A and B are shown apart, each in its own frame.
Chain A
Amino acid sequence: MTNMRDPSPAVAELLVALDGAPSYEILDETRRVVGRHHRLKRLSVYLQDHGGQTLRQLEGGEEIPIEYTAAGAAMDRTEVVAEDDTVWVPLAHRAEPLGVLELTNPDPGLRQSARALGLALGSALVSSTRQSDMVETTRGGGRLQLAATLQRAVLPSPCYVDKRLELSGQIEPAYDIAGDSFDYAVDHIAQVAVFDAVGHGLRAAILSALATAAYRYSRRREEPPEQAYKQIDEAVAIEGLPHEFVTGLLCRIDPDEMEATVVNAGHPPPLLWRQGNVEALDWVRPTLPLGLGGSPAEVVVELEPGDALLLYTDGIIDAAPLDGSAWGLERLVERLTSHHEAGSLSRFCRSLIEELKAYVGAELRDDATLLAVRVAG
């Protein structure tokens, strides 16, 4: 169904047309260009809601559940899925799933070029978020509280995949946002971090945004994790209120040398997931959290092909139902060791979070964050 080598001329024309179109004409322009080259009955766009359960129609009121639908499967697996006379095309941009494109009764040429069409449109929609609120509004950004809006504003894309490295970051926010954040940059070296700011609400979101910005500042000056600790520590100590702090893990991963350099700022140590076994790297000893003036020490973790490092916040292991016991590190480890299916890291992380939410059965009391990085096997 996919022919990337020789896509329809509609795709090339669309790339040029969308670059010049205002965001509110992206959908109309797509219908116009595709309609000029192909026969089809209907073309619609659905974007993933921030709640992660629903696809919401762009410029229309329809909703499709993500679970157990062909549309949801197309987005989840980043695959074109045919269902009766409809073709569901993933809308994604550099592995970040955004939603799905619905083509009803497309002609054979359009079916062939569906994937390429989805990439062109997905890229235009993601780019539009830097200049327009259309995508965010459709995804339910208007229902987020101020703290959640700030928390989301600083997050990078939740997924990254290349031939050396796969990365997935997921935050399940608490009812009252609790200041979790993660950040990364993949260049020849991959740099990743998770943060958990003290407290709740807007104050916590401001602190973790500050920590993230100080991390980027240090990273872009090409400083090692130890120096990043000092930059963030100073920023939180100066700009934070007395006794405020942020815990975190700062990792520099070299996929060629197969090693990770980690600084632990008062945070639960990372888990090393190797060939189905899981080791909590307790020897990555913590120094004080950021803002409290600790003495950071870099620890080197040797990696093997296929290894994954899993960073998490205590919201994962302390999550508990009302009057029930916490999910616990044991359950997280058990879940990792019993996982054998192929599939993307991001799907697996999302399924873990869904399982955690089902276990708690109510609003989470603390943000729960997972960040997994796997080096190629």
Chain B
Amino acid sequence: MTHPQIEIQSNEQSGSAVLTVSGEVDLATAPALQTALLAMVERGSDKVILDMAEVTFMDSSGLSALLAARDAGGEDFEMVLVVGPGMVRRLLETTAIGSLFTVFETLDGALT
């Protein structure tokens, strides 16, 4: 079996809260992503940019984590996804779950 790795860093760029994730988001690592996202919601952020451009693998467990943060944030909370050109983007399109978020291909796009 594989031992998927995930790295999550939060910082602020151009006045926006940015959560940068890299590695693999699956059943084993999605809870860490969800915890990090919920922590930002609890901190009272009204907008989070989730940068997943460096995520190499994501499955439906990752999507569940995104949905959980979106619901926890409520109507005044905006979650912006940066997805890169690869698998995360394809997953969000195939499942139509991307339609529930604001999605950009690059972080620069999300920051402007």
Interface of A toward B, CB cutoff 8 Å: 175-176, 196-200, 242-245, 247, 266-268, 285-289, 292, 294, 314, 318, 322, 362-363, 365-366
- CA A245 – CA B61 in complex, angstroms? 10
Residues of chain A within 8 A of B2, CB atoms compared = 322, 365
Kindly supply a per-residue 1/0 record for chain B positions 72-109, scoring 1 wherever the CB is within 8 Å of any chain A CB and 0 otherwise. 00000000000000010001001111011000000000
Q: Tell yes or no: B20 within 8 A of A by CB.
A: no
Within the complex, what minimum Cβ distance (angstroms) separates A179 from chain B? 9
Q: Tell yes or no: B42 within 8 A of A by CB.
A: no
Residues of chain A within 8 A of B94, CB atoms compared = 247, 266-268, 286, 314
- CA A292 – CA B98 in complex, angstroms? 13
- CA A363 – CA B91 in complex, angstroms? 23
Residues of chain B within 8 A of A288, CB atoms compared = 95-97, 99-100
Within the complex, what minimum Cβ distance (angstroms) separates A284 from chain B? 11
Instruction: With CB as the reference atom, state the residue of chain A lying closest to B68.
Output: A243
Within the complex, what minimum Cβ distance (angstroms) separates A196 from chain B? 7
- Do A198 and B63 touch across chains, with their CB atoms under 8 A apart? yes
Kindly supply a per-residue 1/0 record for chain B positions 1-26, scoring 1 wherever the CB is within 8 Å of any chain A CB and 0 otherwise. 11000000000000000000000001
17 more CB-based (< 8 A) A-B contacts, given A286-B96, A288-B100, A363-B1: A198-B61, A198-B63, A200-B61, A242-B68, A243-B64, A243-B68, A245-B60, A245-B63, A247-B60, A286-B94, A288-B97, A289-B97, A314-B59, A314-B91, A318-B57, A362-B1, A365-B1
Residues of chain B within 8 A of A362, CB atoms compared = 1
Within the complex, what minimum Cβ distance (angstroms) separates B98 from chain A? 10
Within the complex, what minimum Cβ distance (angstroms) separates B36 from chain A? 16
Contact A266/B97 with A200-B27, A366-B59 known, Cβ cut-off 8 Å: yes
* Complex partner residue of B95 from A175, A200, A247, CB under 8 angstroms: A247
Q: Tell yes or no: B110 within 8 A of A by CB.
A: no
- CA A239 – CA B59 in complex, angstroms? 22
- CA A227 – CA B74 in complex, angstroms? 29
Within the complex, what minimum Cβ distance (angstroms) separates A267 from chain B? 7
Within the complex, what minimum Cβ distance (angstroms) separates A198 from chain B? 4
- Do A266 and B95 touch across chains, with their CB atoms under 8 A apart? yes
Contact A289/B61 with A242-B71, A365-B2 known, Cβ cut-off 8 Å: no
Instruction: With CB as the reference atom, state the residue of chain B lying closest to A198.
Output: B60
Q: Tell yes or no: B67 within 8 A of A by CB.
A: yes
Return 14 A-B CB contacts under 8 Å, by A number. A198-B60, A198-B64, A199-B27, A242-B68, A243-B64, A243-B68, A244-B64, A245-B63, A245-B64, A266-B97, A288-B97, A292-B67, A318-B87, A362-B1
- Do A243 and B71 touch across chains, with their CB atoms under 8 A apart? yes
Q: Is the interface of B mostly helix, strand, loop or mixed?
A: helix
- CA A86 – CA B65 in complex, angstroms? 59
Instruction: With CB as the reference atom, state the residue of chain B lying closest to A295.
Output: B96
Instruction: With CB as the reference atom, state the residue of chain B lying closest to A287.
Output: B96
- Do B61 and A199 touch across chains, with their CB atoms under 8 A apart? yes
Residues of chain A within 8 A of B97, CB atoms compared = 266, 288-289, 292
- CA A245 – CA B57 in complex, angstroms? 19
Instruction: With a 10 A CB-CB cut-off, give which of B67, B95, B99 has the most chain A CB atoms.
Output: B95
- CA A292 – CA B66 in complex, angstroms? 13
Within the complex, what minimum Cβ distance (angstroms) separates A247 from chain B? 6
Within the complex, what minimum Cβ distance (angstroms) separates A132 from chain B? 35
Instruction: With a 10 A CB-CB cut-off, give which of A268, A287, A289, A363 has the most chain B CB atoms.
Output: A289
A-B pairs with the 9 shortest C-beta distances? Answer: A266-B95, A198-B60, A286-B96, A243-B67, A243-B64, A243-B68, A200-B27, A266-B96, A288-B96
- Do A289 and B96 touch across chains, with their CB atoms under 8 A apart? yes
Instruction: With a 10 A CB-CB cut-off, give which of B59, B60, B68, B100 has the most chain A CB atoms.
Output: B60
Residues of chain B within 8 A of A363, CB atoms compared = 1
- CA A121 – CA B58 in complex, angstroms? 47
